[in-house]
Amino acid sequence: MEQELDKLVGIQIQLLRLSKGWSQEYLAEKSSLHRTYISQLERGLKSPSIRVLFQITSALEVPASTLIKMVEDSLNADERGTN
């Protein structure tokens, strides 16, 4: 469940980035983070701090709570799917 959570967070960050047509490089620049870190986040290899979450969602111009809500909805969908 914990790796699952990081993966879902990564997927949502990637979806929001792609919906803007941005490269990882551009998101990295906008959020003052390294491109390799963005890449690791998107693959669920890192669990971002809330502080980093706010840096990224601010760059993506969505509220952090919206991204978290999308992750919760995915988690719930997964749980229903496997029951």
Binding site residues, its own copies, CB under 8 A:
2, 5-6, 9, 47-51, 53-54, 63-66, 68-69, 71-72
Q: Minimum distance from CB of 81 to its own copies (Å)?
A: 19
Round to whole Å and give the CA distance between 70 and 73: 5
Q: Which is nearer to its own copies, 2 or 61 (CB)?
A: 2
Burial 58-82 (b: 16+ CB within 10 A, else e): ebbebeeeebeebbeebeeeeeeee
Q: Minimum distance from CB of 21 to its own copies (Å)?
A: 25
Q: Minimum distance from CB of 23 to its own copies (Å)?
A: 23
